[in-house]
C-alpha cells in the first residue's frame, strides 16, 4: 500500500534543507539529474493502493540500491551510513535530516525481488541516459567474465558433511529418532582426512572420504523411509541424493547446497584455474567506456551470447550497434545483424593489406580497454563476489554494478570540472590582486 507523503521543506524561517548543501557536490548534481518519476511510474504498478502496510518511498529504495553499489557497501552498511550522511538523504529524496535508519536492511532484499531484472534494467538505462552523448557511439566492445558466487571451494567431503548436518537437523525438527548419530565416528574420520597430501596419509584420507559418503547415504535412506510422501523436505532430500550419487565425470554437477545453480567455469587463469559462479557479458562503448549492456548467463559459449547482448544494447540505447569488437573467445560468430570484428588468426593476417592490418590493430587496442572496466566492476561495485541468492540475484547484481559504474563515471567527471572551476577562480582572484598591488605601487 502507498504511504501518504508529507512535505516539510523549510528547516528554519530562512533556510531549507537544500540550501545547507554544497550544490557542486557530485551526489547533489546526480540527484538533480536522475529522472526519479520514471521509477515511481514503473514500480508503482507493483504495489496495491488499498492492501497491505504502507510501503517505503520508491525513490528511497532505488536511491539506496544505487548508493549500495556506488560505494561498495552491504545492505546493512548502506542503511547505517544513510542515517549519518546528509548527502545520502538528499539523494534519496528526503527534505529534512533524519537521524534514524530509513528501513530494515532486509527490505532492500524484498524490493530487489519485487522489481526483478526488468526493474534493474531500467536503472541501468537511466545511468546510460545520464552519460549523454558519450553513450551514443555506434561501435561497442564486448567481453565476458565470471561473476563468482559467495560459496566455499567445493569438495565432495564438504558437501557430504553438510548433508549429514542437514539430515540431522530435519530429523530433530520432525522428532524422528535416528538409528545412529555418527558423532564420534565423524570426529575420528575428520582426523584421518587431515594432511591428505602426505604420501603416507593419502590412502587413509580416501578411505575416510568414502566412509563419510556412506554415512550421508545411510541418513538419506533412513529419512526417506520415515518421512511422509508429501513432506516439505522431499525436494531437499532429492537434491542431497543427487549430490551423493554424482561422479567426477558427470555433467551439471552440484557444487553448493544453498546455490545449486552454480557453474564451474575454467577461464585458463594461472592463479585461479576454476571459478564457481556464472558467466557475465559486459558491453561498453568503444572510445568513452560507458557500459551500454550487461547480461547474466549460466555457462554458454561466448559466441552464443552475442545476439542477446546486442539486442539488449539496442533496447537500452535505442540504437543498433554497427560493429562489435570481440576477442577470440567469440570465434565462429561472423554477423548477427552487426559486423563482428575479431582478432584474426596468423594465416588470415597474411592475406590482409597494410591498411586493414593497421585499422584492426587500432580496434584491438581499444578492445583491451574493456578489461579495466571489468576490473573496476569487480573491485569497486560488488561484481567480484555475488552475495545475492539464486539466478535472479545473478541478473540483478550485474545490472546494478554496471549502473553504479556509469553513475560513478559522471561523478568523477563533475568532480574534475568542479576542481578546474575552483582552480581558475583562484587564479583569476590572485591575478586581479597582483594587478591591483602593482597599480597602487
pLDDT tens for residues 172-219? 999 999 999 999 999 999 999 998 889 999 999 999 999 999 999 999
Whether residue 189 is contained in a domain is answered as yes
Q: Write out the three cell numbers for 244.
A: 551423493
Q: Residue 23: what pLDDT?
A: 87
Per-residue pLDDT at 347: 47
Say how far apart CA 388 and CA 375 lie, in whole Å.
20
Mean local confidence (pLDDT), 79-91:
95
Exposed / middle / buried, residue 316 (Cβ in 10 Å: 0-12, 13-18, 19+) = buried
Q: Is 24 helix (H, G, I), strand (E, B) or coil?
A: coil
- 272 and 395 together in one domain: yes
Query: What cell was used for 41?
Result: 511510474
pLDDT bin (cut points 50, 70, 90) of residue 353 is confident
The answer to whether position 1 is within a domain reads no
Residues 316 and 395 in one domain: yes
How far apart (Å, rounded) are the C-alpha atoms in residues 357 and 351?
Answer: 10
Question: For position 436, what pLDDT does the model report?
Answer: 61
141 and 285 inside one domain: yes
Residue 285 has pLDDT above 50, yes or no: yes
Beta bridge partners of 143: 282
Q: What's the CA gap between 262 and 407, in Å, rounded?
A: 30
Residue 143 has pLDDT above 50, yes or no: yes
Does residue 436 lie within any of the structural domains?
A: no
Whether residues 228 and 215 fall in one domain: yes
Whether 268 and 369 map to the same domain: the answer is yes
Residues 40, 53 within the same domain = yes
pLDDT tens digits for range 242-272: 999 999 889 889 999 999 999 999 877 788 8
45 and 124 fall within a common domain: yes
pLDDT of residue 416: 79
Same domain, 397 and 267: yes
Please tell me which residue, 220 or 16, carries the higher pLDDT value: 220
Answer yes or no: is pLDDT of 345 > 60: no
SS3 94: coil
Taking only the tens place, the pLDDT of each residue in 297-338 is 999 998 889 999 999 999 999 988 888 888 888 887 766 666
Q: What is the mean pLDDT of the chain?
A: 88
> What was the pLDDT predicted at 432?
65
- Let me know the angle formed at the C-alpha of 312 by 307 and 316, rounded to the nearest 5 degrees: 150
Q: Can you tell me the distance from the alpha carbon of 175 to that of 379, in angstroms, rounded to the nearest whole number?
A: 47
Whether the predicted pLDDT of 131 surpasses 70: yes
Predicted confidence at residue 1, as pLDDT, reads 64
Say whether both 281 and 322 belong to one domain.
yes
- Is there a single domain that holds both residue 109 and residue 213? no
Q: Which domain-ending residue is among 245, 273, 290?
A: 245
Least confident range from 10-14, 16-20, 379-383: namely: 10-14
Beta-bridge partners for 323: 139, 339
Instruction: Supply the range of the domain harboring residue 32.
Output: 18-129+405-420
pLDDT at 370: 93
Residue 7 domain-assigned (yes or no): no
Q: Does residue 96 sit within a domain?
A: yes
Indicate the SS3 state at residue 100: coil
Who has greater pLDDT, 348 or 378?
378
What is the count of structural domains for the chain?
3
CB 367 within 8 A of CB 373: no
List helix spans (H) across 5-142. Answer: 26-33, 36-43, 58-70, 75-82, 86-91, 105-130
Distances (CA, A) of 202 to 192, 206, 249, 347: 9, 6, 21, 49
Q: How many Å apart are CA 354 and CA 163, to the nearest integer? A: 62
Q: What is the mean pLDDT of residues 216-240?
A: 94
- Distance (Å, rounded) from C-alpha 359 to C-alpha 194? 57
What end-to-end distance do the CA atoms of the chain give, in Å?
73
Confidence label for 348 from pLDDT (cuts 50, 70 and 90):
low
Q: What is the pLDDT of residue 346?
A: 47
Domain boundary among 218, 245, 272: 245
3-state secondary structure of 45: helix
Whether residues 182 and 99 fall in one domain: no
Tell which of 219, 245, 271 closes a domain: 245
Rounded to whole angstroms, the Cα distance separating 404 from 203 reads 51
On whether residue 433 sits in a domain, the answer given is no
Is 303 within the bounds of a domain?
yes
Position with higher pLDDT, 10 vs 324: 324
The answer to whether residues 401 and 382 touch, using CB atoms and an 8 Å cutoff, is yes
Question: Which CA distances in Å does 250 have to 128, 243, 245, 253?
Answer: 42, 11, 10, 6
In a domain, 413, yes or no: yes
* Mean of pLDDT values over 397-415: 95
pLDDT of residue 17: 77
Q: What are phi and psi of 266, to 5 degrees?
A: -100, 115
For 212-281, give the DSSP string. Answer: HHHHHHHHHHHHHHHS-TT-TTHHHHHHHHHHHH--TT-SS----SS-TT-EEEE---SS-SEEEEEEEE
* pLDDT over 90 at 89, yes or no: yes
User: Between these two residues, 362 and 41, which has the higher pLDDT value?
Assistant: 41
Instruction: Return the closest-CA partner of residue 409 out of 134, 9, 193.
Output: 134
Of 66 and 417, the one with more pLDDT? 66
Whether 93 and 27 map to the same domain: the answer is yes
Give the residue with greater pLDDT, 357 vs 153.
153
Amino acid at each position: 500500500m502507498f504511504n501518504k507523503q508529507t512535505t516539510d521543506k523549510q528547516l528554519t524561517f530562512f533556510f531549507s534543507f537544500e540550501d545547507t548543501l554544497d550544490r557542486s557536490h557530485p551526489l547533489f548534481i546526480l540527484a538533480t539529474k536522475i529522472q526519479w518519476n520514471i521509477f515511481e511510474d514503473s514500480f508503482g504498478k507493483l504495489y496495491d493502493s488499498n492492501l497491505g502496510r504502507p510501503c517505503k518511498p520508491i525513490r528511497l529504495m532505488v536511491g539506496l540500491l544505487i548508493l549500495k553499489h556506488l560505494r561498495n557497501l552491504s545492505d546493512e552498511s548502506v542503511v547505517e551510513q544513510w542515517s549519518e550522511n546528509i548527502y545520502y538523504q538528499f539523494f534519496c529524496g528526503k527534505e529534512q535530516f533524519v537521524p534514524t535508519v530509513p528501513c530494515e536492511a532486509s527490505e532492500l532484499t524484498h524490493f530487489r525481488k519485487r522489481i526483478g531484472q526488468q526493474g534493474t534494467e531500467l536503472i541501468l538505462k537511466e545511468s546510460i541516459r545520464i552519460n549523454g552523448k558519450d553513450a551514443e557511439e555506434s561501435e561497442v566492445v564486448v567481453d565476458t567474465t565470471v561473476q563468482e558466487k559467495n560459496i566455499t571451494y567445493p569438495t565432495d567431503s564438504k558437501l557430504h558433511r553438510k548433508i549429514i548436518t542437514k539430515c540431522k537437523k530435519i530429523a530433530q525438527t520432525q522428532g524422528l529418532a535416528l538409528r545412529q548419530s555418527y558423532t564420534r565416528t565423524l570426529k575420528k574420520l575428520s582426523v584421518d582426512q587431515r594432511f591428505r597430501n602426505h604420501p603416507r596419509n593419502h590412502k587413509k584420507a580416501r578411505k575416510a572420504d568414502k566412509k563419510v559418503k556412506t554415512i550421508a547415504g545411510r541418513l538419506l535412506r533412513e529419512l526417506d523411509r520415515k518421512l511422509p510422501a508429501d513432506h516439505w523436505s522431499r525436494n531437499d532430500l532429492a537434491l542431497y541424493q543427487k549430490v551423493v550419487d554424482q561422479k567426477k565425470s558427470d555433467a551439471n554437477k552440484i557444487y553448493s547446497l544453498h546455490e545449486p545453480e552454480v557453474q564451474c567455469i575454467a577461464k585458463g587463469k594461472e592463479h585461479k584455474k576454476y571459478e564457481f559462479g556464472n558467466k557475465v557479458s559486459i558491453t561498453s562503448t568503444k572510445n568513452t567506456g560507458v557500459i551500454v549492456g550487461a547480461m547474466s548467463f549460466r555457462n554458454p559459449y561466448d559466441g552464443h551470447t552475442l545476439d542477446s547482448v546486442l539486442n539488449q544494447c539496442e533496447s537500452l540505447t535505442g540504437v543498433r550497434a554497427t560493429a562489435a569488437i570481440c576477442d577470440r573467445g567469440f570465434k565462429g560468430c561472423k554477423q548477427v545483424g552487426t559486423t563482428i570484428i575479431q582478432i584474426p588468426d596468423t594465416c588470415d593476417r597474411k592475406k590482409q593489406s597494410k591498411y586493414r592490418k593497421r585499422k584492426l590493430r587500432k580496434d584491438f587496442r581499444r578492445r583491451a580497454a574493456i578489461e579495466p572496466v571489468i576490473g573496476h566492476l569487480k573491485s569497486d561495485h560488488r561484481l567480484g563476489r555475488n552475495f545475492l541468492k539464486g539466478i535472479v540475484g545473478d541478473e540483478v547484481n550485474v545490472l546494478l554494478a554496471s549502473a553504479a559504474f556509469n553513475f560513478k563515471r559522471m561523478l568523477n567527471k563533475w568532480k574534475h570540472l568542479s576542481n578546474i572551476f575552483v582552480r581558475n577562480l583562484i587564479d583569476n582572484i590572485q591575478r586581479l590582486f597582483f594587478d591591483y598591488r602593482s597599480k597602487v605601487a
